[in-house]
Amino acid sequence: MRVSLRVMFCAAPALLMAGAFLLAPGDATSQQPEFTLNFGTVAPDNTPWSDQLVDIKKRVEKESNGRIKVRLFTGGALGGEVEQIQDIRDGGRLQGGGFTTSALATGANVPELDLPELPYLFRNNAEADHVLDTVLFEPMQKRLRRRGIHMSMWAQNGWRSFYTKKPVRSLADLQSHKMRTQESDVHKAMYKALGIQAFAMSTAEVLDALSRGTVDGFDNTALFAQASGWFEPVDHLSLTRHIFQPAAIVYSKTWFDALPEDLQKIVNGNRLEDQKLGRRLVRELEPELIANFKDMDVQVHEPSEEELKPIIAKARTIHSEFRQVVGGDLLDAVYAALAEFRKSTP
């Protein structure tokens, strides 16, 4: 029997992305706001992502003594990721948001942000955190600012796997499905390399497409699949963990740069501590989410090393294809950091 996890998500602790969230009566501050921050995301409400955004909202309003008023628009209330990113960049309704890196690569026209989502780049969370924090943060922040967007910190979507209507035990099984792909060059290239027919569509289109049979599968994280309800039309999950997907909290550069220095510091927050908290909250839920699929009639398959070999081999071929796109020097720096990290990590 299919069951909703809304109650569990409501009880979850505080991260990043996610109806409009308006000021509650208890949020009243001592003065009229000088600045308004409309913050958008496609992340569903009542998730660790939206919980952390609520925390950020409360902190910014409190620490600014009401000089900044924050309004959250979660669950794609103001459009898909690419649409919202372009709105922020172009000075539209939104001044900030939380988005996946591949969406930022497309919406902000910063192709280098496809780099961390190259399939099978990372083996585990520790490797991903190390590369994102020590190699990629400053270069990506600089590239985004040149495109009119200020990045304040990394966030996390998590490890993506395949959700399908039929069992997947091999690459051939995957190739028998029509899959939804994120609107991202690196994601589309991965599906092409795997020989899978895939259709790019925004998050708002996916559930209807699955229900109608326009597509019969997708890839995403366990948290997003359950919070969005995308799992309902599918019957199988194959834990390929083929892409580690970061996200980022970003703001309009024009809006951010217009803030006084003290308010800029408040909006930025404590980057390293906020990143650490957000990652922990999302990761702690994953084992429980995977276990919950059994109660929702979704069969979970953990592929063997032999089953994964052909998928990994074909998916990784796009690394060389994207060398010029993401920057050869930057990709080599990531490879070098990973090699050094692996030497020092058992």
Per DSSP bridges, beta strands 217-220 and 149-164 are antiparallel
Q: What is the CA radius of gyration of the chain?
A: 20
pLDDT by residue for the chain (346 residues), tens digit each?
Answer: 444 444 344 333 333 333 333 333 344 445 689 999 999 999 888 888 888 899 999 999 999 999 999 999 999 999 999 999 999 999 999 999 999 999 999 999 999 999 999 999 999 999 999 999 999 999 999 999 999 999 999 999 999 999 999 999 999 999 999 999 999 999 999 999 999 999 999 999 999 999 999 999 999 999 999 999 999 999 999 999 999 999 999 999 999 999 999 999 999 999 999 999 999 999 999 999 999 998 999 999 999 999 999 999 999 999 999 999 999 999 999 999 999 999 998 7
- Within 13 Å, how many C-alpha atoms sit on residue 205's CB side? 15
Residue from 253, 202, 246, 273 nearest 96 by CA? 253
> Residue 137's pLDDT is what?
98
> Residue 172's pLDDT is what?
97
Four-CA torsion 68, 41, 122, 129, nearest 10 degrees: 20
* Whole-angstrom distance, CA of residue 340 vs CA of residue 346: 12
> Residue 98's pLDDT is what?
95
> Residue 14's pLDDT is what?
33
CATH number of 8-344: 3.40.190.170
* Whole-angstrom distance, CA of residue 178 vs CA of residue 67: 49
User: Which pTM does this prediction carry?
Assistant: 0.88
* Whole-angstrom distance, CA of residue 73 vs CA of residue 59: 17
